[in-house]
Structure 1
């Protein structure tokens, strides 16, 4: 069953579809919408050629200039990455979250979301991103292996065993290379490449934030919102309000 909702804003209506493959995010968003949780909230963070963000309950009736973006229910949602099937193309609906330093499992905010605008990319730019993704994969695997050998590393350091540390590091590097070969090099699919070079989006967010839906109608409204003037905290100068979100 397709779940479609209308986000009624002061700039016009945006029709979204929620993905069944991300049931935790779908059901949570639908429940909050039915409860009227989003009614009167603002698109409190807007960055041109990037995205528009809403869902902060603290934005209701917030005075001009107030910094927003930390509000939400007292829970987070486990990440539901369905990648590369769902990615950050223009119009993607994704869950906001705190950074990896305090949120290594990349759990989503209980209510805050963003709609992607982004920009179009040249094929050469995507190739460069693939190389960066490859380096990131190598670093993440190496860090995981090092974490597994934490006690051994600490013992070698306490004993000032430089030769042992070097040998362990060499072994971890070889194991990292082996696992990377098994995983294969990260690469954009043909669908992603087509979308990012023609429609646009934010490929650098892929597999980092949960994409749980997309805009079906009203991209012109998203475009107007992402063009609006903002203050130094990326809050629109003139409030852009979500009047309600209703099930279609």
Structure 2
């Protein structure tokens, strides 16, 4: 009888401990979820503030603004085209909100082009690397084909999914490529939206294109976009700094 009571007591104690552990684990999960929700809320507010500032800034930009793509291998200065306004405005917004900062050129083919703008490339873990080329801001942009905008050296064009999955040839919301070789990229004219061109830094394009890559065209040593900044005349730049 005593043994039975003892065993029952042990069982009840074990059940109580298990229940306590489960409750503790549940509370920990709830706390973690609440903290993540708080962080997500803060991030959403910060994103909204950045976008508001960017939209206000965009109203003051010229029709064909100039941006600097600053990388760890040098700076590429580009001008965006006025006849592809959807792509121009989208690039402006992403650049001014810091979307491109710290992203990789994740696909590099010497004698062809260099490609970047995938937000997945902020994470260099093996799991993330498998996703390179698939990331974006969650939307696409309608094609804007302009015959005079061709894949000349230094042209900036929007990456996109293939025709079968994307018959309207809509562009990625953030991924872009820069032409290194006009001849090999001529086949892309009228198929991918060209929305800007390189003004200076052609040697940087060649430098990036010449880095060693693996079988997936991913550079073996990181080629990272430090930041994309608006190129301002010296007078305007001095005024803007004084206002900060």
**Other structure's SS at 1:99 match:** coil
User: Is 2:70 the counterpart of 1:87?
Assistant: no
Q: Deviation at 1:74?
A: 1.1
Q: If the length of structure 1 is used for normalisation, what is the TM-score?
A: 0.66
User: Is 2:173 the counterpart of 1:110?
Assistant: yes
Q: In the aligned structure 2, how far is the partner of 1:18 from the partner of 1:119?
A: 18
- 1:101 maps to which residue? 164
- 1:72 maps to which residue? 136
Higher relative contact order (CA 8 A, sep 6+): 1
Q: Deviation at 1:119?
A: 5.2
Aligned residues: 167
Q: In the aligned structure 2, how far is the partner of 1:40 from the partner of 1:96?
A: 19
- 1:210 maps to which residue? 193
Q: If the length of structure 2 is used for normalisation, what is the TM-score?
A: 0.67
Q: Deviation at 1:5?
A: 0.2
Q: Structure 2 matches for 1:1-248, cutoff 5 A?
A: 1=62, 2-63=64-125, 66-67=129-130, 68-83=132-147, 85-118=148-181, 120=183, 202-248=185-231
Tell whether the 8 Å contact from 1:97 to 1:106 is kept in structure 2 after alignment: yes
Q: Which has the larger radius of gyration?
A: 2
Q: Deviation at 1:13?
A: 0.4
Q: In the aligned structure 2, how far is the partner of 1:59 from the partner of 1:117?
A: 22
Task: Give structure 1 stretches of 5+ with no counterpart.
Answer: 121-200
Task: Give structure 2 stretches of 5+ with no counterpart.
Answer: 1-61, 232-244
